[in-house]
Amino acid sequence: MAVIEPKNSLTVTDNRTGKSCEIPIENGAIRTIDLRQIKVSPDDFGLLGYDPGYMNTASCKSNITYIDGDKGILRYRGYPIEQLAERSNFLETAYLLIKGELPDKERLAVWTYNIRNNTLTHANMTKFLDGFRYDAHPMGILVGTIGALSTFYADAKDVANEESRKLQVRRLIGKIPTLAAMSYRHSMGFHYVLPDDDLSYTGNFLSMMFKMTEMHYKPNPVLERALDVLFILHADHEQNCSTSSVRGVGSSGVDPFSAIAAGCAALYGPLHGGANEAVIHMLKKIGSLDNVPAFIKSVKDGEGRLMGFGHRVYKNYDPRAKIIKEIAFQVFEETGRSPMLDIALELERIALEDEYFVNRKLYPNVDFYSGLIYQAMGFPLDMFPVLFAMGRVPGWLAQWIEQVKDSEQKIARPRQIYLGEDERNYVPIETRPKNRVDEQKFGICRL
């Protein structure tokens, strides 16, 4: 008997017309453009895929980061996040993400030197910073200053040129800590601190943040390593909101500074990079262990979310959260235990047993404990998303480079399902019906 080979295709029958068509399956996906052949009439536009929030749409093929959300697996270029967190450092991980392989000693030395060589910003940047109000959110400043870098480096527009891309990568990874620290010091009214080449990437950042009158700032090695590992854990996370923004904006062919500024803007939102800040606000609001059960009840009643819990992809414990929880204990040994840690541990304990969270597969994510660590290290709350952005820059750059080199990529341009008015004629203002609600609204606006 002849064996029937399974076909790598999907047969779709359109019940409106009774017609069938066969659509190829490649890498476990169909190309939604293939659905366009499904039409009820020759002038029909063809079938679209409708997917708000891209719940089931792959926007690219990628070789950078692998996540299995059900099993709680995260790998950069094939290397498990647990191994990188234990054995690598942030600059080496950045190299891995961007170049695809771990560097040998010589390559790592050159890479580190090149990044160190790009930590200074143009002197005009301080004037630019002066324009921000004293209470400007550092993340808003970071979005603005990264975008402004594109005006200092006109050569960055040459995105098709590999040498130019390499230079912009060094500039971006080199200058982000400087801009991040400047944004903090601006808000504090402190003088800016120049980079110190004797320190590690992360040690230098701590120096630019916290150095006061001492000749040489000596970072606490436990805190320096903890922050470096946190940067590793944040370095990439495949096609999340900010990375998709970098790719979306980058798909227009704009320079990487503008694309990365867009990524920062996306990361600023409370559902993305702002969640670690929101966790601290939540813990403060809860205030004491006694209030935890009532707070959990209010979340279940739909009065708010348990910030730092839940993830679009992880339907299991976020592997980064596991590592961060361990780091939290190491950091608190140095800095003293935050009373909020106990509230967080109790929230986690209850949530992991509670039907509401269990049924929805809501587990702690990367933001649940990271805010507590940042706070213990002395970072103000509004610096938290900035720290997330610093860690994420190599991932954004790796994804941007992959996109620029991908001949299949086109300018990002989703379709829509138009449900608005059909064509209608313009009505002169004198003859339009009065709308009292609108008038009231406009009245308020004028005030």
Q: Report in angstroms how near the CB of residue 53 gets to ligand CMC at its nearest.
A: 6
Q: Pick the piece of the chain touching ligand CMC (CB under 6 A) from 25-33, 187-195, 357-365, 372-380.
A: 357-365
Q: Does 348 bind ligand CMC (CB under 6 A)?
A: no
Q: Which residue is nearest to ligand CMC (CB)?
A: 310
Q: Report in angstroms how near the CB of residue 344 gets to ligand CMC at its nearest.
A: 13
Task: Print the SS3 string covering 248-263.
Answer: HHHCCCCCHHHHHHHH
Q: Pick the piece of the chain touching ligand CMC (CB under 6 A) from 193-201, 298-306, 334-342, 376-384.
A: 298-306
Q: Report in angstroms how near the CB of residue 392 gets to ligand CMC at its nearest.
A: 9
Catalytic residues: 272, 311, 367
Q: In what order do the strands lie in the sheet containing 79-80?
A: 65-68, 73-76, 79-80
Q: Report in angstroms how near the CB of residue 299 gets to ligand CMC at its nearest.
A: 5
Burial of 381 (0-12, 13-18, 19+ CB in 10 A): middle
Helix, strand, coil tally for the chain in percent (to 5): 55, 5, 40
β-strand pairing of 65-68 with 19-24: unpaired
Q: Does 360 bind ligand CMC (CB under 6 A)?
A: yes
Q: Does 362 bind ligand CMC (CB under 6 A)?
A: yes
Q: Which of 110, 72, 42, 82 is nearest to 326 (CA)?
A: 82
Q: Report in angstroms how near the CB of residue 271 gets to ligand CMC at its nearest.
A: 4
In the range 303-342, which residues lie near ligand CMC by CB under 6 A? 305-312
Q: Residues near 289 by Cβ (< 8 Å), separated by ≥ 6?
A: 342, 343, 346
Burial of 400 (0-12, 13-18, 19+ CB in 10 A): buried
Extract the tokens encoding 330.
């190491």
Element (H, E) at 87: helix 81-87
Q: Pick the piece of the chain touching ligand CMC (CB under 6 A) from 37-45, 323-331, 359-367, 409-417.
A: 359-367
Q: Which of 300, 299, 366 is nearest to 67 (CA)?
A: 366
In the range 375-404, which residues lie near ligand CMC by CB under 6 A? none
In the range 266-295, which residues lie near ligand CMC by CB under 6 A? 271-273, 275
The footprint of ligand CMC on this chain (CB under 6 A) covers a number of residues equal to 20
Distance (Å, whole) CA 258 – CA 262: 6
Among 292, 299, 390, 398, contact with ligand CMC (rule: CB under 6 A): 299
Q: Calculate ∠ Cα 60-400-92, nearest 5°.
A: 115
Among 277, 348, 367, 402, contact with ligand CMC (rule: CB under 6 A): 367
The end-to-end CA distance of the chain, in Å, is 83
Binding mask 209-248 for ligand CMC (x = CB under 6 A): ----------------------------x--x--------
Q: Report in angstroms how near the CB of residue 65 gets to ligand CMC at its nearest.
A: 12
Q: Which residues bind ligand CMC (CB under 6 A)?
A: 237, 240, 271-273, 275, 299, 305-312, 360, 362, 365-367
